[in-house]
Amino acid sequence: MPELPEVETIRRGLDRLIVGKTIARARHCDSPKSFPNDPTAVAHFLHNARVTAVRRRAKVLLIELNTCYTLVVHLKMTGQLVFVGAERWGGGHPTDSLIHELPDRHTRVIIDFTDGTRLFFNDLRKFGWMKLYPTAEVPNMPFMRRVGPEPLGDSCDSAAFISRIRRRNNTTVKAAILDQSVIAGVGNIYADESLWQACIHPAMRVHALSGEQLAVLLTSIKQVLALGIETGGSTDKNYVDAEGNKGNYLQFAHVFRREGQPCQRHPDSTIQKIRVAGRGTHVCPVCQVLPLE
C-alpha cells in the first residue's frame, strides 16, 4: 500500500491537472465495487460538476466538487490514476497501464471531462475504490473518524502525539506508529527510517520510552516524510511519482532494504533485518539498542 509521500505526490499531480475541469460523465467498466455509487447521485452531483480542489487525508485522496460532493479515492494495494490529455500523467502501481492505450483490462473507472481529457482509475487487484460522498459527510466516514492527525499538519505537535501514542503503551513502538489512529499515513518504510533516525529500537514498548524520546521520534517522522515527499516517494517497487516516474527516496534510505550493509552512522555495524509487529524491520544494532526489560 502507498505511504503518505506517495499519495501526496499523486495529489499534487492531480491538483495541477484536473482542478477547474468539469466532469462530463463517470462510469465503472467491469467492477461495480470499484465505483459503488448510486446512479442518481452520480447523475446529479458528479456529472457536470467542476473540480474545485484535490486534497489528501492520510492515504486517501479527496476530489472536491462544486456540487458540495467529494469523490473519495483509495488506491489500496495496486491502484493507479492515469490522466490522458495533451500530456499523459501517471501515478500509482507501475503496470503497463501507465503507458499503454486505455482503457485496458485493468481499467475500473473512466472519468471524462468536458474538454476531452480523461482520468482512468486502473486497479490490478480490484481492492481500490472511488466513492461519492456529500462533502460535509466525509469527516464522518468510519475511516476518517478513526484516523489520527496528519504528521505534517500544524495540529500534530509533540503533546498531541504523545497523548495518542500513550494509548498504545503496551505495544511495540513500531506497531504504535503504524496504527493509523495514532498518526496518519506512516507505513513500514518510513517507520523504520524514523525509528533509526530517532535511535529507538522498533521492538521497544511505548511505556519504556520517555516523553523526550517520543518527541524526538515525532520530529524524525516529520523529517523523513518531508524528505519522502521532496524526493517523490519511495515506490517500494510499486509506486511512481506524480509525473509517472519512480520516486527516489530509497536512494536516501538509511536502513530500509539495506540489510547487511554498513550503518551510515556507525560504519562498523551492519544493518539487520528482523521481524517486529508482523513486518520486516530494519535496524542498526548499535544505533538502536533494545534494553532488557
> Catalytic residue at 193?
no
> Catalytic residue at 36?
no
- Of the listed 11, 12, 56, 59, which one is catalytic? 59
Return the residue matching grid coordinates 500534530.
156
> Catalytic residue at 3?
yes
- Of the listed 76, 205, 246, 279, which one is catalytic? 279
> Catalytic residue at 2?
yes
Residues taking part in catalysis: 2-3, 59, 279
